[in-house]
């Protein structure tokens, strides 16, 4: 435990002092320059601002606020369904701002789950995305686990305290707080620690995370430490990541788990829908085979979506990919014609035709965007300096090479063709993610500063998916978006890693006067980016946007669990205490800037709520 002193001290330190941080007013924090860029982006793709200010934004049109429980008669209108590009509940449109809390089931007490959901609800946030899986290779001494995946077999943990029944309580508490859950059923990412210096087969070693700094993070601290696809691949003695998508035995096991979870909540109106997997793609911690391509991933989605739709006619099914495109891929599915609603300006910009995205479109749009920013720059002077996205990326050396042609977000190299997946009949709504620290969405525009490139890449990524919503006639949700701040940089562990690449920055900050420039954006830049992305999503017609991720302190801490005791200022580690903090893989809003980050989300909610 002592090895985590730096991290915990850091969090403990920031936790006491930030109640008076300014409350973000999204529009006021924008600089002139950013506003101009933003409008420039809007103009470039022809999104009309007249579609804004939908009064139903984030309104939760559910009638069961009535505290008296009623017999759960199945009334289909109370589930979330879709109507063209919109979600619908009780015959009203439903749009939302949400947050992620992958660690909900890892909390140590039901009271903690209740208080987290209560706080989220008080922020007027109505959707929480969380992990509905927790696979282990051996039964752990402490903490939650849902499924043992070992030796080519699986078995679900039905223990009331630490097994799947814990998810039952999350679902009923969500219902109590008027929150919908978007539940992911597995994860693409489950890297094992690379530290094999001592004994790579000892279970103690397998639990080690963040080994580069010799920190040992408890199981479930990181979002990629909940099992997932590679846990199945390992346990079944398969050899490639894509065996998960193609091996009949593994598919049967995943379907078995999926069935048990989905059937448990088939009648619950607190479930927004099922997300088949977080970030499914060809590459992962276990390498993929050369034959993995978009056909592999799309076909697997069709299989799982059909299965879920068959056993649960009440809830929507979504993919959970990052939303990558493949302009040149042959499609498995024919897109069905969108409903005859009036086509928006966004659709018209794709030459008024319902056709898949092409390479030519991408290159042309990128060129036009650069031309526009250059023109704007000539009018307004050079971009401001001092932007702190350090620009360098240690974990993915291909980031720079991506800036050639359409780039990896559009060339199908991840195995994801989100348009083909969206064409699957049983996929009720589309999803995508926005993590500029880990993916490249557009080539950098040399006319813009690093931060403004990040910001603008996010805006155009959002617009592109909103266009797809119109084209395919289905709602599209941004299921995770986040930027790593300088304060969070030491905790940042990329999804494909067990190691925090900037962990040493924290020691620099604490022990010496920081000589190193920290990685990440400032809190203010995060709030600017989040509020502009939220506004863009609302303007462009996304159905929901889910920030990554919530953070909370004052949780019950138990040694050996993801909520571990915080180190006190005297360096004493209490055995069990109430000052644990929710886990972070680098995006948590707990700590510095929490108030302003929450303010940004509340701002997006309130801006679009009906006047009272
Ligand atoms: C279903 O619920 C909706 C909204 O609560 C209500 O208007 C409708 O009458 C209900 N239908 C039935 C059959 O109970
Ligand atoms: C939540 O919404 C209500 C009703 O619109 C509003 O009065 C309240 O201030 C909002 N709360 C926050 C934290 O934004
Ligand atoms: C898996 O099999 C090995 C060898 O038979 C055994 O030692 C181990 O306990 C098994 N693991 C589980 C979780 O059953
Ligand atoms: C399905 O899950 C159950 C309960 O976890 C387990 O007993 C059974 O062996 C599983 N079946 C398959 C085919 O994996
Ligand atoms: C359930 O798990 C708890 C905590 O690990 C344990 O104390 C208890 O014995 C388990 N119950 C059963 C029935 O196995
Ligand atoms: C540890 O991992 C490295 C890199 O994968 C490998 O070269 C080395 O042989 C491994 N050592 C042991 C003891 O397994
Ligand atoms: C590693 O641990 C296993 C199990 O505890 C033990 O059998 C094995 O001898 C150890 N190997 C080394 C190289 O220490
Ligand atoms: C981690 O521990 C090993 C062995 O004790 C040591 O050699 C190494 O320098 C440590 N690494 C860091 C970053 O402290
Ligand atoms: C699935 O993987 C297992 C383990 O590698 C293997 O024994 C089996 O033959 C594979 N099944 C198929 C259909 O490829
Ligand atoms: C869900 O509702 C249906 C219809 O009332 C019922 O047949 C089924 O048993 C319910 N399932 C669960 C898990 O409660
Ligand atoms: C994927 O690879 C298979 C052969 O392994 C091929 O038949 C299929 O056309 C490829 N799909 C795409 C979209 O290139
Ligand atoms: C499990 O929890 C107990 C009680 O807090 C603690 O003594 C023990 O060390 C923990 N086990 C692990 C592996 O951390």
For the stretch 252-284, pLDDT in tens is: 999 999 999 999 999 999 999 999 999 999 999
Closest residue by Cα to atom 1, ligand 3, is: 151
Q: Is the confidence at residue 61, as pLDDT, over 50?
A: no
Does residue 512 come out as left (phi exceeding 0), alpha (psi in the -120 to 50 range) or beta? beta
Query: pLDDT band for position 559 (50/70/90)?
Result: confident
Residue 11: phi and psi, rounded to 5, are: -70, -40
Amino acid 341: pLDDT: 54
Quick check: pTM over 0.85?
Answer: no
What are the backbone angles phi and psi of residue 135, rounded to the nearest 5°? -90, 135
Closest among 117, 112, 155, 406 to 270, alpha carbons compared: 117
User: Which ligand 8 atom sits closest to the C-alpha of 211?
Assistant: 1
Give the pair of three-digit tokens for residue 20: 């008076």
The CATH number of the structural domain formed by 27-52+86-194+208-361+363-367+385-607 is 3.20.20.80
- Answer yes or no: is pLDDT of 42 > 60: no
The mean pLDDT value of the chain amounts to 80
- Mean pLDDT on 69-92: 84
Write the pLDDT tens digit of every residue in 288-327.
999 999 999 999 999 999 999 999 999 999 999 999 999 9
Q: Cα-flanking dihedrals φ and ψ of residue 486, to 5°?
A: -60, -40
Find the mean pLDDT for residues 419-428. 97
Over 60: is that where the pLDDT of 239 sits? yes
Segment 101-107 shows an average pLDDT of 98
Where residue 3 falls among pLDDT bands split at 50, 70, 90?
very low
For the Cβ of 236 lying below 6 angstroms from any atom of ligand 9, the answer is yes
Q: Identify the residue with better confidence: 187 or 29.
A: 187
Residue from 154, 248, 249 to probe ligand 4 pocket by mutation (most atoms less than 8 Å from CB): 154
The H or E element containing residue 470 is: helix 450-472
pLDDT tens track for 82-97: 999 999 999 999 999 9
What is the mean pLDDT of the segment spanning 476-480? 98
Domain ranges of the chain: 27-52+86-194+208-361+363-367+385-607
What local confidence, expressed as pLDDT, does residue 10 receive? 23
Q: How far apart are CA 178 and CA 550, in angstroms?
A: 17
Residues near ligand 12 with C-beta < 6 Å? Answer: 141-142, 558-560
pLDDT of residue 369: 83
- Assign 211 a pLDDT band (cuts: 50, 70, 90): low
CB 92 within 8 A of CB 59: yes
User: What percentage of the chain has pLDDT greater than the value 70?
Assistant: 71
130 phi, psi to nearest 5 deg: -145, 165
Query: Which residue in the block uniquely carries the two structure tokens 């995006």?
Result: 587
- Ligand nearest the Cα of residue 145 is 5
In angstroms, what CA-CA distances link 442 with 4, 360, 394, 488, 491? 37, 14, 19, 25, 26
| Residue 442 pLDDT level (bands cut at 50, 70, 90) | confident
Cβ pair 463, 540 in contact under 8 A: yes
Q: Mean pLDDT over residues 385-408, rounded?
A: 43
Mean per-residue pLDDT, 4-13: 24
- Residue appearing with tokens 């690379």: 194
Measured between alpha carbons, how far apart are the two ends of the chain, in Å? Answer: 50
For 124-181, the pLDDT digits (tens) are 999 999 999 999 999 999 999 999 999 999 999 999 999 999 999 999 999 999 999 9
Best residue among 139, 150, 231, 236 to mutate for probing ligand 3, ranked by most atoms within 8 Å of CB: 150
């Amino acid at each position: 435990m002592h090895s985590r002193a730096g991290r915990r001290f850091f969090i403990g330190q920031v936790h006491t002092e930030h109640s008076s941080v300014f409350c973000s007013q999204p529009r006021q924090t924008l600089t002139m320059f950013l506003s101009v860029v933003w409008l420039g982006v809007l103009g470039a793709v022809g999104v009309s601002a007249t579609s804004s200010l939908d009064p139903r934004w984030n309104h939760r049109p559910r009638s069961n606020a009535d505290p008296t429980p009623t017999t759960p008669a199945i009334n289909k209108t109370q589930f979330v369904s879709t109507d063209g590009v919109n979600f619908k509940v009780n015959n009203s449109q439903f749009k939302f701002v949400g947050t992620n809390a992958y660690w909900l089931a890892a909390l140590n007490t039901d009271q903690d789950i209740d208080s987290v959901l209560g706080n989220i609800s008080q922020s007027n946030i109505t959707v929480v995305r969380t992990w509905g899986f927790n696979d282990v290779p051996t039964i752990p001494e402490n903490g939650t686990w849902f499924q043992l995946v070992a030796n080519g077999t699986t078995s679900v943990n039905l223990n009331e305290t630490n097994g799947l029944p814990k998810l039952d309580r999350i679902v009923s508490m969500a219902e109590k707080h008027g929150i919908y859950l978007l539940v992911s059923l597995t994860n693409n990412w489950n890297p094992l620690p690379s530290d094999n210096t001592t004994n790579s087969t000892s279970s103690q070693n397998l639990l080690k995370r963040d080994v580069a700094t010799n920190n040992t993070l408890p199981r479930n601290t990181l979002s990629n430490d909940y099992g997932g696809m590679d846990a199945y691949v390992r346990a079944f003695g398969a050899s490639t990541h894509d065996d998960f998508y193609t091996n009949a035995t593994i598919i049967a096991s995943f379907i078995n788990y999926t069935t048990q979870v989905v059937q448990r909540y088939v009648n619950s109106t607190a479930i927004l829908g099922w997300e088949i997997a977080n970030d499914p793609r060809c590459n992962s911690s276990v390498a993929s085979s050369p034959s993995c391509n978009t056909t592999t991933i799309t076909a697997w989605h069709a299989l799982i979506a059909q299965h879920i739709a068959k056993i649960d006619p009440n809830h929507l099914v979504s993919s959970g990919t990052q939303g990558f495109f493949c302009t040149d891929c042959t499609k498995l599915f024919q897109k069905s014609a969108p409903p005859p609603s009036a086509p928006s300006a966004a659709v018209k910009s794709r030459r008024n035709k319902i056709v898949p995205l092409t390479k030519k479109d991408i290159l042309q749009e990128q060129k036009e965007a650069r031309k526009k920013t250059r023109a704007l720059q000539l009018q307004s002077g050079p971009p401001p300096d001092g932007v702190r996205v350090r620009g360098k990326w240690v974990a993915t050396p291909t980031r720079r090479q991506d800036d050639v042609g359409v780039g990896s977000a559009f060339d199908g190299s991840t195995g994801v063709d989100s348009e083909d997946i969206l064409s699957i009949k049983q996929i009720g709504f589309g999803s995508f993610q926005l993590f500029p620290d880990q993916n490249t969405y557009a080539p950098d525009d040399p006319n813009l500063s690093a931060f403004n490139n990040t910001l603008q890449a996010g805006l155009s990524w959002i617009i592109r998916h909103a266009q797809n919503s119109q084209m395919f006639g289905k709602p599209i949700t941004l299921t995770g978006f986040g930027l790593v701040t300088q304060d969070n940089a030491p905790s940042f562990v990329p999804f494909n890693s067990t190691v925090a690449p900037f962990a040493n920055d924290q020691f620099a900050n604490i022990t010496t006067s920081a000589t190193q420039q920290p990685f990440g954006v400032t809190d203010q830049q995060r709030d600017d980016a989040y509020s502009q992305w939220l506004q863009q999503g609302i303007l462009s017609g996304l159905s929901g946007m889910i920030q990554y991720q919530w953070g909370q302190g004052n949780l019950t801490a138990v040694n050996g669990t993801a909520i571990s005791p915080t180190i006190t200022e005297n360096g004493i580690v209490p055995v069990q205490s109430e000052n644990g903090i929710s886990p972070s893989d680098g995006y948590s809003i707990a700590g510095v800037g929490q108030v302003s980050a929450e303010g940004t989300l509340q701002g997006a909610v309130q801006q679009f709520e009906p006047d009272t």
